[in-house]
Amino acid sequence: MAAEPGKIDPMHQFMVEPLFGTGGLQVGGYNIAFTNSALWMVLSLFVLWVFMLGGMKRQLVPGRWQAAAESVVGFVNSMVSTSIGPEGRRFVPLVFTLFMFIIIANLMGMVPIGILTPVWHGAHAFTATSHFTVTGVLAVLSFATVLIVGFSRHGFHFFSLFVPHGTPVIMIPLMFVIELFSFLVRPFSLALRLFVAMTAGHILLKVLGGFVIKGISAGVGYGLLVSLPSFVLMIGISALELLVCAIQAYVFALLTSLYLNDAVNLH
Amino acid sequence: MDAEAAKLIGAGLAAIGVGLAALGVGNVFGSFLESALRNPAAADGQQGRLFIGFAAAELLGLLAFVVAMILLFVA
């Protein structure tokens, strides 16, 4: 459904476009263009790298930066060890990487570089986590780790995960199927939650932004009646979106560590 | 009815589900706060479960949003 000219097109911000003239790059028949999505993921990794490099100082009395890095690491560490137990320490790097990449990619998508449009046409922040391909790969990463850890630790005994303790014998086939399905939808629910939460928030912001612009261009009366309340609402929604960015990253990391707990300890 | 009109009406109806998820999310946090004020000492230990409940309630509402988006842009 293409937007007619002059209409608000809130989906345009999710367009993946090749950058720096790499649109035609092909390897084995597949297009490997360096897109704006890839650019923002690389930027997120760069921000994470700078954050950690500046934080890992090993000073006895930590400065502000080191204290910030230490508190994030401590937060993930305590989350993993309360859900998995002492054996969970091995998974802290994985969960920490997922958590930090998601939260930074989410927050980078909120950076309002669109105000640079007069000097840099078409400038807008791109939320890499608002695409199912990206969040799907992250979810597959966490799900594959669960499968590998589960099967390498317990072998085929891992299937006992699908039959809870104390299930009556008659119910075992039914319970097995239900538990298997609830296990298999986990990567989809992980990926879908993150992608939709990011997409919905950004669509809402762009729709409100369209109200502000159209109200102002319709005259002073409409500007006061429509644009001003919309703008105030936009500020509130932006604050809410910052909260959602953090909560979604937290939920992703928390669910990953809970699923890893299943794989490490069974029930 | 025109197929395009039916899609738009369907997407609008799917938006009801998002509102119902709001009830669910509000219920999760409301119940947590209610019991956390009765026993504040036990509240911190339940934060993980709070967010799992929030995630489950929210996901079901987001599915309604996905249905609306599929009707508008894919179907």
DSSP H helices, chain A, are: 36-55, 64-84, 92-108, 132-154, 172-184, 186-217, 220-222, 228-265
Contact B54 A255 (CB under 8 A): no
For chain B, what is the domain count?
Answer: 1
Instruction: Find the CB nearest B51 among A196, A199, A250.
Output: A250
Helices H / strands E in chain B, number of each: 3, 0
pLDDT band of residue A5 (cuts 50, 70, 90) is low
User: Is B75 part of the contact surface with chain A (CB cutoff 8 Å)?
Assistant: no
Predicted confidence (pLDDT) at residue A1 exceeds the cutoff of 50 = no
Q: Tell me the C-alpha distance between B21 and B54, whole Å.
A: 10
SS3 A30: strand
Which amino acid, residue A2?
A
Lowest mean pLDDT across A203-207, A246-250, B26-30: A203-207
Predicted confidence (pLDDT) at residue A8 exceeds the cutoff of 90 = no
User: Is B9 part of the contact surface with chain A (CB cutoff 8 Å)?
Assistant: no
Q: Could you list the pLDDT tens digit for every one of the 75 residues in chain B?
A: 788 888 889 889 988 888 888 899 999 999 999 999 998 888 888 888 888 888 888 888 888 888 888 888 777
A18 close to A34: Cβ distance less than 8 angstroms: yes
Q: Tell me the C-alpha distance between A139 and A195, whole Å.
A: 11
Q: Tell me the C-alpha distance between B1 and B23, whole Å.
A: 33
Query: Smallest CA–CA separation between B3 and chain A, in Å?
Result: 13
Q: Tell me the C-alpha distance between A165 and A172, whole Å.
A: 10
Query: Smallest CA–CA separation between B55 and chain A, in Å?
Result: 7
Q: Quote the tokens at residue B73.
A: 């842009």
Backbone phi and psi for residue A4, each to the nearest 5 degrees, phi listed first: -75, 155
Return the higher-pLDDT residue of A115 and A260: A260
Q: How many CB atoms lie within 10 A of CB B6?
A: 12
User: Which residues of chain B from 26 to 65 reach within 8 Å of chain A, CB to CB?
Assistant: 48, 51-52, 54-55, 58-59, 62-63, 65
Q: What is the CATH number of the domain that holds B35?
A: 1.20.20.10
Return the sign of the alpha-carbon dihedral for residues B3, B64, A130, A229: positive
Partner residues linked to A31 by β-bridges: A26
Cβ within 8 Å of residue B24, ≥6 positions away: B57, B58, B60, B61
The range of the structural domain enclosing residue B55 comes to 3-74
Lowest mean pLDDT across A19-28, A176-185, A189-198: A19-28
Contact B52 A254 (CB under 8 A): yes
Contact A197 B58 (CB under 8 A): yes
Cα–chain center distance at A115? 24
pLDDT of residue A136: 92
User: Is A204 part of the contact surface with chain B (CB cutoff 8 Å)?
Assistant: no
Q: Tell me the C-alpha distance between A219 and A192, whole Å.
A: 41
**Domain residue ranges of chain A, discontinuous segments joined by +:** 12-265
Q: Quote the tokens at residue A133.
A: 């391909």
Instruction: Find the CB nearest A193 among B48, B59, B72.
Output: B59
For residue A83, what is the nearest residue in chain B, using CA coordinates? B48
Cα angle A148, A102, A196 (rounded to 5 degrees) comes to 95
Rounded mean pLDDT, A251-261: 90
pTM for the complete prediction? 0.84
Predicted confidence (pLDDT) at residue A103 exceeds the cutoff of 50 = yes
Give the residue from B4, B46, B47, B58 with the most A CB atoms within 10 Å of its CB, the best one to mutate.
B58
Contact A258 B52 (CB under 8 A): yes
A135 close to A196: Cβ distance less than 8 angstroms: no
pLDDT band of residue A137 (cuts 50, 70, 90) is very high
Query: Smallest CA–CA separation between A101 and chain B, in Å?
Result: 19
Q: Tell me the C-alpha distance between A79 and A99, whole Å.
A: 11
Q: What percent of chain A has pLDDT over 90?
A: 14
Predicted confidence (pLDDT) at residue A144 exceeds the cutoff of 90 = yes
